[in-house]
Amino acid sequence: MDALLLMIVTFFGYIIMYRIYKNFIAKKIFKLTNKNIAPSVQFEDGIDFVPTKKEIIFGHHFTSIAGTGPIVGPAIAIIWGWVPAVIWVFLGSVLIGAIHDFGSLIISMRNQGKSISDFTSKYINGRAKTFFFLIVFLALWVVISIFGLVIAIIFSMYPTSVIPVWLQIPISIYLGYLFYKKGKSITTWSIIAVITMYLTIVIGYYIPIEMPTIFSIPPTGSWTIVLLIYAFFASVLPVTILLQPRDYINAYQLVIAMTLLVLGVIASALWGNLEIVAPTVQLNPAEAPPMWPFLFITIACGAISGFHCLVSSGTSSKQVKCENDSVFVSVGSMFTEGALATLVIIAVSAGIGLGFTDKSGTTIAGVSAWSTLYSSWTAMSGLTSNIAAFVDGAANLIQNIGIPKGIAVGIMGVFVASFAGTTLDTATRIQRYVFTEIMLDYKITVFKNRYASTGAVVISALVLAFLSGADGKGALSLWPLFGAINQTLAALALIVITMYLKRQGNWKWIISGIPGLFMIVMTLWATILNQISFSNEHNLLLQIINVVIILLVGLIVIEGLIAFFKSPNEEFQSISADN
């Protein structure tokens, strides 16, 4: 019953905190008002700036910020014990992640929908903006390059997911056509689209697809090429054609997947065979880095993730139709992601104990199943291992409500792959915005054309992906840096939010300032430990990039402190645009 009680208590906590954000933080601190014209309305162009119903933009926002993040992070970090993972997911999301996501979204909406790296100059200075741009570009470069590989690996692990994931695209395009061209009912046709998509999961179960080796290019390399080509077209198309309708389907898919997991937890607990088999706390697991500070780097999505500020200020701020909708979109998505991360923790701490088949084909259960899977940090740090832990654990729970395990695995595999695909093309679209902003700063106007800028973004990602060979795994060389880079982005975004709130007067800045300080300490601590590790491994490339990151963060922090302690006379004379 411990798993069931854990789920109930944390979910109830998220509901309470959402009410606090909606009724206090939004109204008293950020003073939301629909009198301010949203960028989606002011700059409506039918391509990027499109005023959208909050239910639809919620689907886009959530699937973009989530991806595989709230699955992979908790599935790895539970090696330190389920209690530290649960505490960080809950407190991180309600005290840090929500203010980070909400602040990034609403400040962008009050700055013409510009990215957070762009309006850094307004709240700190131009130098900080340049430093921020560099970190954002590096982070997105790695994300785009690696997520093609991530989806390729998921397709390899779960070939039954290939057909439903790709068929979701024409289903979404037709759904968008019905919404925006024919004026059909969003709710009715979305339900029909979701049912159709789940029928394709059954088709995929019986017709699994495996990518062959093509012209000496391994399957992972071929999938990476195909997926990056897809990302190009998905990110230049008007959001109403693919992005919004597909993410509305994904929102329903989220609700269905989480409902199945919740019902699975309840059924398994009531039948008396669901127990948390992971250790409560495990400070020194084999080969693992220290829990402090790496717990806060390993679990990002589900608690706080710097990628969220890029989505909030990159795509979502251009589609939210009024300020009051921003709470539902940003805070609602953050807490939903926290709830999903909690279900992932239950799946890999309790669900996996219901039965796990090891490499020899032997099925084991209970503590032995968990201990075999989590024998060491090396064993669990690979993408294949932690996704398999979640999918197997989740399928164990779901089969207790009468769904065959094979179908349950297919449902969860499509769920993970679909969200990863959303992250891929959203990251590509955001990188296009960022790259265009940089180029326009240097008066290079050719990249104002979205096809030219997106082409540059995708080609640069392809170069990184194939830097190590035809398998498309080149970005893995930089992946050890990503956790720290991602959380560094979160810390820097909190600095910008703090500077914004400081201009509003009184004590408001504390709500983001203290979380920002915490994240700066944790990420710099982790980055320094990484530097020592890279040095011991004689990895010159990672050492150089890591040092550059440390310097950039240090410079932004210094610039932020200078701006923070400026006298009122030195600050901008008017902040009317912020109100």
pLDDT for 16 equals 97
Q: Report yes or no on 6 lying in a domain.
A: no
Number of domains in the chain: 1
Q: Report yes or no on 544 lying in a domain.
A: yes
Q: Report yes or no on 21 lying in a domain.
A: no
Check if the beta carbon of residue 64 is closer than 8 Å to that of residue 247. Answer: yes
Structural domain boundaries, residue 537: 33-578
One digit per residue, the tens of pLDDT, for the chain of length 579 reads 588 999 999 999 999 999 999 999 999 999 999 999 999 999 999 889 999 889 888 988 998 888 788 888 899 999 999 999 999 999 999 999 999 999 999 999 999 999 888 888 888 888 888 888 888 888 889 889 888 888 888 888 889 889 999 999 999 999 989 988 888 887 888 889 989 988 998 899 889 999 998 888 999 999 999 999 999 999 899 988 888 888 778 888 888 989 999 999 999 988 867 889 999 999 888 888 999 999 999 999 999 999 999 999 989 999 999 999 999 999 999 999 999 999 999 999 999 888 877 677 777 888 888 888 888 887 776 667 788 888 889 999 999 998 888 888 888 888 888 888 888 888 999 899 889 988 888 888 899 999 999 999 999 999 999 988 888 888 888 888 888 889 989 999 999 999 999 988 788 899 999 999 999 999 999 999 999 999 999 999 889 989 988 898 888 889 888 888 875 555 544 344 444
- Which pair of structure tokens corresponds to residue 496? 């910008």
Q: Report yes or no on 566 lying in a domain.
A: yes
Say which CATH number the domain at 91 has: 1.20.1740.10
Q: Report yes or no on 24 lying in a domain.
A: no
- Which pair of structure tokens corresponds to residue 189? 């046709």
Q: Which residue has the tokens 């198309």?
A: 237
Q: Which residue has the tokens 């190009």?
A: 232
Q: Which residue has the tokens 């195909």?
A: 226
Q: What is the pLDDT of residues 176-187, one digit of tens each?
A: 899 888 888 878
Q: Report yes or no on 116 lying in a domain.
A: yes
pLDDT for 293 equals 93
Q: What is the pLDDT of residues 199-229, one digit of tens each?
A: 998 899 889 999 998 888 999 999 999 999 9
Q: Tell me, what amino acid is at 199? A: L
Q: Report yes or no on 574 lying in a domain.
A: yes
Q: Report yes or no on 486 lying in a domain.
A: yes
Handedness of CA 560, 561, 562, 563 (dihedral sign): positive
Check if the beta carbon of residue 332 is closer than 8 Å to that of residue 97. Answer: no
pLDDT for 571 equals 53
Task: Report how far apart, in Å, the C-alpha atoms of 407 and of each of 171, 225, 399, 403, 426 are.
Answer: 21, 29, 9, 7, 29
pLDDT for 453 equals 95
pLDDT for 273 equals 77
Task: Report how far apart, in Å, the C-alpha atoms of 301 and of each of 102, 110, 377, 440 are.
Answer: 15, 25, 20, 31
Q: Is 5 exposed, middle or buried (0-12, 13-18, 19+ CB in 10 A)?
A: exposed
pLDDT for 44 equals 94
